[in-house]
């Protein structure tokens, strides 16, 4: 939002897992997931102890689709996972499988909020590979019936998203998943959301932007960030966007940190180098550690082709983010380079798959255009912002300052 509304405030911004579609994220996304995982008795349908079963099945279905079986789903957008593969068979011990009702809850969560005609009210549900991170969000921890999704959604619906608050007895079950409900809940999109893809003013003043997102984020689908970056390219042109912006997607990364994939990294050094010395980032070196987030990343660059060229026309510097210590040293058990979207990281076929130096830039792979279509597609428009002033009782909004 700073880059969009106040382009002169900062000359370097890193934005991770941005909740740019605030109005739909905190109403339909979390409201749908909270409701779909709640039974008629008020208890959770899909419970925390079943998530590892679901996750292993997703890995079995999609781990190898990127050409390397490494315990990570690096291309979840190409994953076609049907949770019915873990539905309990006749006579099977229920602790080792999902009931039919639990399978349906999982299907609904993956599908994301939609209306009765199948029109999407959110860009995407969580992607395959994120299952272990559902606990505490829309799957309550053991011994609890409360979910963060339900609490976030009801607070946003009752006190924030509408110009006039609904009655005090409004409950989450009052949320309707329809076009009319979508229109009513997004009337303040121009105030709350940060989806303006025209950053010409920010770029024109020398601003640099690094967007990043974990592909296993359970809170905010990375498709939101991919859609925004794609819209930037559509509005400003791909070559112009590459002059000032990058997008990095981290396989196995949860919401803003943690996860099964390498998701510890340094973005402060790259944004400073870009702003202060004109060195555009290329490979971001990420690590996974055995316990905890870990400390700062140090070392020397690895993971670039010998000539430092990406092979896609994207400018490539010779200096990028230093990698973490090699696996086996300290607390690090895996290191990988993460290349700017839409590039992928490909194992070179030699050496440890946990060592960053054994990976090179792979072919560009963009999100299919149809995955980016939803009822809010028009939100990614230039200069839609509303500027609002409150007088203590009501807000007055206009299209420009």
* Sheet (strand 208-214) strand order: 12-16, 208-214, 245-250
Question: 271-298 burial, b for 16+ CB within 10 Å, e for fewer?
Answer: bebbbeeebbbbbbbbbbbeeeebeebe
**pLDDT recorded at residue 391:** 84
pLDDT, tens only, 95-153:
999 999 999 999 999 999 999 999 999 999 999 999 999 999 999 998 888 899 999 99
C-beta separation of 216 from 254 below 8 A = yes
Q: What is the mean pLDDT of residues 163-186?
A: 96
pLDDT tens readout for residues 25-81: 999 999 999 999 999 999 999 999 999 999 999 999 999 999 999 999 999 999 999
CB 45 within 8 A of CB 171: no
Q: What is the per-residue pLDDT for 328?
A: 45
- Sequential DSSP letters for 13-82: EEEES---SHHHIIIIIHHHHHHHTB-TTSSBSS-GGGHHHHHHHHHHHHGGGGS--SS--S-GGG----
Q: How confident is the model at residue 314 (pLDDT cuts 50, 70, 90)?
A: very low
- Over the stretch 265-308, which tens digit does the pLDDT of each residue have? 999 999 999 999 999 999 999 999 876 443 333 333 333 233 33
Q: 4 and 196 in contact (C-beta within 8 Å)?
A: yes
91: left (phi over 0), alpha (psi -120 to 50) or beta: left
**Domains of the chain by residue range:** 2-18+199-337+348-369, 22-189
What's the CA gap between 216 and 137, in Å, rounded? Answer: 13
Contact 133, 255 (CB under 8 A): yes
What's residue 330's pLDDT?
Answer: 57
pLDDT in tens, 374-395: 999 999 999 999 998 888 877 8
**354 pLDDT higher than 90:** yes
Q: Which helix (H) or strand (E) holds 184?
A: helix 179-185
Q: What is the pTM of this model?
A: 0.90
The pLDDT of residue 248 is above 50:
yes
| pLDDT reported for residue 291 | 61
- The DSSP code for 338 is E
């Amino acid at each position: 939002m700073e880059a969009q509304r106040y382009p002169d405030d900062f000359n370097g911004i890193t934005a991770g897992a941005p909740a740019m579609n605030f109005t739909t994220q905190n109403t339909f996304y979390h409201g749908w997931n909270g409701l779909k995982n709640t039974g008629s008795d008020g208890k959770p349908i899909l419970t925390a102890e079943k998530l590892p079963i679901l996750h292993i099945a997703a890995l079995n279905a999609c781990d190898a689709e990127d050409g390397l079986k490494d315990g990570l789903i690096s291309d979840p957008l190409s994953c076609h996972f049907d949770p019915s593969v873990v539905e309990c068979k006749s006579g099977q011990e229920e602790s080792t499988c999902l009931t039919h009702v639990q399978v349906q809850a999982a299907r609904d969560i993956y599908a994301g909020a939609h209306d009765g005609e199948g029109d999407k009210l959110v860009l995407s549900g969580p992607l395959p590979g994120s299952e272990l991170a559902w606990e505490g969000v829309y799957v309550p921890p053991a011994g609890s019936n409360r979910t963060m999704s339900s609490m976030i959604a009801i607070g946003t619906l009752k006190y924030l998203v509408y110009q006039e608050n609904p009655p005090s007895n409004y409950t989450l079950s009052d949320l309707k998943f329809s076009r009319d409900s979508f229109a009513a809940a997004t009337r303040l999109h121009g105030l709350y959301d940060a989806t303006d893809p025209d950053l010409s003013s920010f770029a024109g003043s020398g601003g640099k932007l690094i967007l990043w997102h974990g592909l296993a984020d359970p809170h905010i689908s990375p498709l939101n960030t991919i859609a925004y970056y794609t819209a930037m390219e559509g509005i400003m042109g791909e070559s112009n966007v590459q002059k000032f912006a990058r997008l990095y997607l981290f396989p196995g990364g949860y919401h803003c940190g943690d996860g099964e994939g390498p998701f510890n990294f340094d973005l402060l050094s790259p944004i400073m180098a870009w702003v202060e010395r004109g060195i555009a980032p290329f490979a971001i070196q990420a690590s996974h550690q055995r316990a905890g987030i870990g400390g700062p990343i140090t070392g020397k660059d690895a993971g670039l082709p010998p000539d430092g060229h990406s092979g896609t026309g994207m400018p490539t510097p010779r200096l990028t983010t230093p990698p973490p210590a090699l696996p086996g040293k300290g607390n690090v058990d895996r290191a990988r380079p993460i290349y700017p979207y839409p590039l992928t990281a490909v194992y070179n076929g030699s050496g440890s798959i946990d060592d960053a130096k054994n990976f090179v830039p792979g072919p560009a792979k963009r999100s299919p255009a149809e995955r980016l279509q939803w009822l809010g597609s028009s939100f990614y428009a230039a200069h839609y912002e509303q500027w609002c002033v409150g007088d203590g009782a009501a807000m007055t909004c206009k299209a420009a300052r």
